[in-house]
Structures are given as structure tokens and as C-alpha cells.
């Protein structure tokens, strides 16, 4: 046993038998939903996530495919997934009695998450979220012992900071630079399309530049604030028992009703506003605020719906399928990138920029089906997903048991 492992003796990962079914199902639901939006970046130029009118057919069925995804998926599942990461931080750190052990393992865990994220971003896909999670967790861990009320209030305040800056810029600032980003020249769009229809090396310059901007300028200006805020809100919800299915059925039904109505109304109002304004750059910045502030109530509605599902049918096929995805979320997140880049990029089928929004959703459904089948089958034989196992092994400094048969052998010893 290594020196680090000896120092951490007795610190072990959570056995699958002790996991919270509702929390796992919620994580799986969030991860599947994230792909509905990520598929747009996998299949079309990056700018379509900001301004969907600049590329691809935006009428008829394709408009409604965008609209439904925008209202029910954009930022909601990412917000939910980030809140769940905050909850997982509490789950991880509460297992250890000594602060020194807690922080040592937490920082080792965060370090390896950043390493995985850097590899993901620069070798595979620029839209990585792991780096921002790993870096933000380094700081958020220090508020883990604060009250739920404190975490919710400060988290909400942090989340609002970038929006205040964006609204002030839209109201009083010079938007000429943003206008060029909001509606890039046709030559810029064509260049990106040709880049991702090319080979892996040809894609690298754009991938590296975009990943770097996301991890530096964008992170400091907005992502860090919103990620930290969402994590802290997730920690508060965990402490309140909302994410662990400890509240009443009436509470979750109310969450579904109120969160659903407020969230959908906010997002539909945002679309009506930006369309009435003619998709101008200034209106685009204001419209983004509808997206951010509509995300939380609708994410709350999803929490309520999944908790009710897990409570009524804890061993049902849907619950078990979602929980299997949730328990292997890290592996499935990377698998989504591997499959999607193989389908759309030039080193694979080269369909980048060639599919409609409706067709892209068909790819999403196909990936979902593959992931559910693989996850359920994998967990019949193994304790953790392959990347989850590697992450745990690196975190604890010694090889963790992977096969379920290892548990029986260990018990016999």
C-alpha cells in the first residue's frame, strides 16, 4: 500500500447498495437530457447554441424541434446536473471524520476530474464541463458545512452576478463586437463546417481554441459564477432532503406544478420576446436571461417528477434504467461524445452540418437506447462504470474492486 493510501486507510467509496435510487435516477435523467442540447454543438457550428437562426433550416418541424428542446431542455438539464454534482460533493466529503483526510481526497478527486476534462476537451470535444466542475469544486468545498439556507441564498446570488453584468452591457455598452459573434459571416460558418468534416488533426485548432476560451475567459466571466451557484443550491437541496426523496409526495407534486408552470411560462415569454425583437444582438442578450432564470424552476419540476417516479416504482424498468445511467454518468457522458463525434465529424461518418434538427434528435434517441442497454447490462456484472472505477482508483490511491464477484471474494477473506 502506498503512503497516501495508508494515510487514507479506512476511507472507501460508497458501496452501490447504499446509494439513493432517486438521486441516481435523477442524475441519469439529467445526463440523457443534456444530450438534447449538446447534439446541436456536435452536429452544427458552435454559434447555433447562442443564435439558432444562423445555420440550418429553422422552419416547420425543425423549428418545433428547436423550440421544444429550448423550452424543456436548454440549461435545465445542465443546471440539474450541476446541482447534483454539488450534492455529490456533500455525499463524498461527509464520509470522513478528519478534515485533513476529507480535503486530501477531495482535491485528489477534483484533480483527476480536471485531467479527464482536459483530455476530453482537447482530444475529443470542446464542450466539456468536467474542467469547470473540477476547478469550481476546489473552492465550493469550503462551504459544505454551512446551513442549507446560507448555501441557497449565496448560491442564488452567485448565479445572478453574470446576468447583472450582461444586462448592463446590453443596456449601456457597445455591442459591435458581440454583434459579430451573434451573427458571424457566412465564410466563418463555412470554415467551421469544413473543419469538422475534415480529419481529427484538422479539427484540433478550432477545438483547442474553443476549449481554451471556455476554460479561461468564459469561465471567469460567467461559468464559474453560475457553476458555483448551482452547486451550492444543489448542496442546499440535498441538506433539505429534496434530492434524497425525503420530502412528502405533496411537496414533490407542488414542485412539479409550480416549477413547471413558472419555468415554461418564462421560457415561452423569452422566445416571444426575442422573435418580436427580430433576433437582434441586444435582444439576444436579454433573451439569455429568460433562459437562465427559467432553468431553475423547470429543473425543480424535473426533480419532483423523478422523485415521485422513484417513490412509486422504485424497481420499475424506467427507474432502474435511469438509475443505471446515473450510476455510470461519467462513463456515459464521455460515451456520448465518442459516439456523436464519430457520427458527425470527418474522422467518422462526416455528417457535420448535413443533418436537420429533427434528424439530430433521431441520433439522440439512438444514443439513449444504446446507453440504457449498455448501462443496465454492465451493472449486472460490475460495481461501477469503467471511468467511475478508474476515477475512484486514482482518488483513493489503490485499486478498487470492480467485478461484483470481487465483493464475494472480499467477504470470504
pLDDT(282) > 80: yes
Across the strands, what pairs with 382?
403
Q: What is residue 80's three-state secondary structure?
A: helix
- Whether residue 261 is predicted with pLDDT greater than 60 in this model: the reply is yes
> pLDDT by residue (tens digit) across 49-70?
999 999 999 999 999 999 999 9
- Least Cα distance to 72 among 358, 265, 272, 233 occurs for 265
pLDDT at 164: 97
Could you tell me the residue ranges of all domains in the chain?
30-311+343-358
Return the axis-axis angle of helices 130-140 and 76-93, rounded to nearest 10°: 50
The span from the CA of 230 to the CA of 212, in Å, is: 22
Q: Is the pLDDT of residue 308 over 70?
A: yes
pTM above 0.85, yes or no: yes
Long-range contacts of 359-366 (CB under 8 A, 24+ apart): 360/39, 360/40, 360/42, 360/43, 360/44, 360/65, 361/36, 361/39, 361/65, 361/69, 363/39, 363/43, 364/35, 364/36, 364/39
Residue 204: C-alpha distances to residues 131, 212, 354 (Å): 18, 12, 20
In this predicted structure, the answer to whether residue 132 has a pLDDT above a threshold of 70 is yes
Query: How does pLDDT run across 16-49, given as a tens digit for each residue?
Result: 444 589 999 999 999 999 999 999 999 999 999 9
| Number of Cβ atoms within 10 Å of the Cβ of 149 | 11
State pLDDT tens for residues 146-177: 999 999 999 999 999 999 999 999 999 999 99
pLDDT for 11 = 46
Residue 72 to residue 55: CA distance in whole angstroms: 21
For cell 434524497, name the residue.
244
Amino acid at each position: 500500500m502506498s503512503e497516501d493510501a495508508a494515510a487514507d486507510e479506512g476511507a472507501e467509496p460508497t458501496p452501490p447498495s447504499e446509494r439513493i435510487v432517486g438521486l441516481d435516477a435523477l442524475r441519469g435523467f439529467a445526463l440523457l437530457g443534456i444530450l438534447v442540447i449538446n447534439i446541436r454543438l456536435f452536429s452544427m457550428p458552435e454559434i447555433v447554441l447562442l443564435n439558432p437562426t444562423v445555420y440550418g433550416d429553422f422552419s416547420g418541424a425543425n423549428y418545433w424541434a428547436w423550440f421544444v428542446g429550448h423550452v424543456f431542455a436548454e440549461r435545465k438539464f445542465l443546471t440539474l446536473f450541476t446541482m447534483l454534482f454539488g450534492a455529490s460533493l456533500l455525499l463524498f466529503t461527509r464520509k470522513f471524520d478528519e478534515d485533513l483526510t476529507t480535503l486530501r481526497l477531495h482535491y485528489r478527486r477534483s484533480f483527476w476530474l480536471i485531467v479527464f476534462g482536459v483530455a476530453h476537451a482537447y482530444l475529443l470535444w470542446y464542450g466539456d464541463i468536467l474542467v469547470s466542475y473540477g476547478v469550481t469544486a476546489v473552492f465550493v468545498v469550503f462551504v459544505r458545512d454551512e446551513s442549507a439556507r446560507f448555501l441557497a441564498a449565496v448560491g442564488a446570488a452567485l448565479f445572478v452576478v453574470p446576468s447583472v453584468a450582461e444586462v448592463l452591457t446590453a443596456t449601456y455598452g457597445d455591442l459591435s463586437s458581440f454583434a459579430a459573434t451573434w451573427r458571424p459571416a457566412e465564410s466563418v460558418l463555412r470554415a467551421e463546417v469544413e473543419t469538422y468534416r475534415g480529419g481529427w488533426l484538422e479539427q484540433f485548432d478550432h477545438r483547442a481554441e474553443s476549449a481554451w476560451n471556455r476554460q479561461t475567459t468564459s469561465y471567469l466571466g460567467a461559468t464559474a459564477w453560475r457553476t458555483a451557484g448551482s452547486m451550492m443550491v444543489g448542496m442546499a437541496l440535498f441538506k433539505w432532503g429534496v434530492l434524497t426523496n425525503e420530502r412528502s409526495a405533496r411537496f414533490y407534486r407542488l414542485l412539479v406544478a409550480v416549477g413547471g408552470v413558472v419555468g415554461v411560462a418564462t421560457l415561452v415569454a423569452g422566445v416571444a420576446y426575442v422573435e418580436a425583437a427580430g433576433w437582434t444582438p441586444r435582444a439576444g442578450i436579454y433573451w439569455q436571461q429568460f433562459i437562465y432564470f427559467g432553468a431553475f424552476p423547470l429543473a425543480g419540476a424535473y426533480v419532483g417528477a423523478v422523485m415521485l417516479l422513484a417513490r412509486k416504482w422504485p424497481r420499475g424498468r424506467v427507474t432502474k434504467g435511469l438509475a443505471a445511467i446515473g450510476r455510470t454518468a461519467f462513463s456515459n457522458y464521455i460515451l456520448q461524445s465518442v459516439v456523436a463525434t464519430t457520427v458527425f465529424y470527418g474522422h467518422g461518418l462526416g455528417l457535420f452540418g448535413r443533418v436537420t434538427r429533427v434528424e439530430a434528435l433521431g441520433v439522440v434517441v439512438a444514443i439513449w437506447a444504446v446507453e440504457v442497454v449498455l448501462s443496465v447490462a454492465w451493472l449486472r456484472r460490475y460495481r461501477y462504470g469503467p471511468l467511475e472505477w478508474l476515477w475512484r482508483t486514482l482518488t483513493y490511491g489503490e485499486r478498487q474492486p470492480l467485478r461484483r464477484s470481487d465483493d464475494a471474494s472480499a467477504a470470504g477473506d
